[in-house]
């Protein structure tokens, strides 16, 4: 009986191993599925007609190019639009091979998935209407605050020392564009989210000058590309791609392309030069979770 159970256990492990081995999977299928976001600022967004763009999208294209060299064949790239709620399950179950969005690398998520070395360090901020008079967390008392379902931003706001005793009502958007619409339409007084997502949505709004980013930095978070857990070969290939891009200067060029220069489809500028925290992440490449960043 014990031998039978051991055999089953070994069989189970081998099946899991095959599932986790992205190189073997894509070599056999000839396809790879990239998880993309429709409105994650300049990191990942839709151009319409099934086309996507952004900083993490471009990095993932480079990773896939090196993956093609490793498996010795051209791959068909399929795109799967993911949300804050389903992105981790879709990576876990193999629907998505590499997620190229705006996912925070934290300790809880590292139990379920793996993260490529950090390519962007985010500051969580607050967006409001320019004429609202709101400049600080303390002014959110009894206000409607928008955030996106499946994200951690409002929890960060509630934990902030300056939010102590400040009672506000949460309203949820199904994605970042929907959350911004809550602010734009007046159903929310503020939108709490990653600064570049706020900046990206403001840049593409009908009247960008009507909005501004204000208040204290709520948190600093490492944002990274996500892959399946226990897939050492693919993670190494992805990490090596990131390392090579930093070393060659291509990482800084790609960042400038998406966050400083005009971007499609409207040729608007996000206007966010690389922060010191993001530059530090490139200088000391690692896949440490957000909890490590919180240690000062």
CA angle 30, 234, 120 (to 5 degrees): 115
Q: What pLDDT, on the 0 to 100 scale, is given for residue 150?
A: 85
Q: What pLDDT, on the 0 to 100 scale, is given for residue 15?
A: 38
CA angle 218, 52, 35 (to 5 degrees): 70
* pLDDT tens digits, one per residue of 180-217: 999 999 999 999 998 988 998 998 889 999 999 998 88
The CATH architecture to which 122-221 belongs is 3-Layer(aba) Sandwich (3.40)
Burial (0-12, 13-18, 19+ Cβ within 10 Å), 262:
exposed
Asked if 19-119+224-275 and 122-221 have one fold, the answer is yes
| Closest listed residue to residue 40, CA positions, set 151, 132, 160, 139 | 151
Q: What pLDDT, on the 0 to 100 scale, is given for residue 161?
A: 63
- First CA to last CA distance, the chain: 53
Q: What pLDDT, on the 0 to 100 scale, is given for residue 296?
A: 53
In sequence order, the 6+-apart residues with CB closer than 8 A to the CB of 283 are none
Q: What pLDDT, on the 0 to 100 scale, is given for residue 20?
A: 65
Q: What pLDDT, on the 0 to 100 scale, is given for residue 254?
A: 98
- Below-70 pLDDT ranges, the chain: 1-20, 161-162, 295-296
Q: What pLDDT, on the 0 to 100 scale, is given for residue 5?
A: 41
Q: Indicate the domain borders of the chain.
A: 19-119+224-275, 122-221
In angstroms, the CA 103 to CA 99 distance is: 8
The class (CATH top level) of 19-119+224-275 is alpha beta
The torsion angle over the Cα atoms of residues 257, 100, 115 and 296, rounded to 10 degrees, is 50
Q: What pLDDT, on the 0 to 100 scale, is given for residue 13?
A: 38
In sequence order, the 6+-apart residues with CB closer than 8 A to the CB of 155 are none
Q: What pLDDT, on the 0 to 100 scale, is given for residue 159?
A: 80
Under a CB-based contact definition with an 8 Å cutoff, are residues 241 and 63 in contact?
yes
Q: Write down the pTM of the prediction.
A: 0.78
In angstroms, the CA 161 to CA 268 distance is: 35
DSSP 8-state assignment for residue 32:
E
């Amino acid at each position: 009986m014990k031998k039978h159970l051991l055999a089953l256990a070994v069989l189970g492990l081998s099946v899991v191993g095959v599932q986790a081995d992205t190189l073997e999977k894509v070599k056999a299928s000839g396809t790879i599925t990239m998880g993309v976001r429709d409105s994650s600022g300049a990191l990942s967004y839709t151009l319409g007609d099934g086309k996507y763009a952004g900083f993490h999208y471009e990095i993932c294209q480079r990773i896939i190019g090196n993956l093609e060299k490793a498996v010795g064949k051209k791959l068909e790239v399929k795109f799967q639009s993911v949300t804050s709620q389903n992105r981790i399950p879709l990576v876990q179950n193999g629907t998505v091979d590499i997620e190229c969005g705006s996912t925070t690398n934290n300790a809880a998520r590292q139990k379920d998935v793996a993260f490529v070395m950090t390519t962007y360090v985010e500051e969580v901020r607050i967006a409001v209407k320019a004429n609202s008079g709101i400049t600080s967390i303390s002014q959110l008392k009894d206000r409607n605050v928008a955030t996106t379902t499946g994200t951690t931003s409002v929890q960060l706001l509630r934990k902030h020392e300056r939010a102590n005793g400040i009672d506000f009502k949460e309203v949820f958007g199904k994605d970042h564009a929907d959350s911004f619409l809550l602010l734009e339409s007046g159903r929310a007084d503020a939108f709490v989210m990653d600064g570049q997502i706020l900046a990206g949505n403001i840049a593409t709004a009908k009247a960008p000058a009507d909005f501004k980013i204000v208040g204290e930095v709520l948190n600093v978070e490492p944002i990274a590309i996500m892959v399946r857990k226990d897939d050492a070969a693919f993670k190494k290939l992805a990490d090596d791609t990131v390392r090579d891009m930093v070393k060659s200067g291509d990482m800084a060029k790609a960042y400038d392309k998406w966050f400083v220069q005009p971007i499609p489809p409207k040729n608007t500028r996000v206007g966010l030069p690389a922060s010191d925290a993001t530059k530090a992440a490139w200088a000391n490449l690692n896949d440490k979770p957000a909890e490590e960043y919180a240690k000062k």
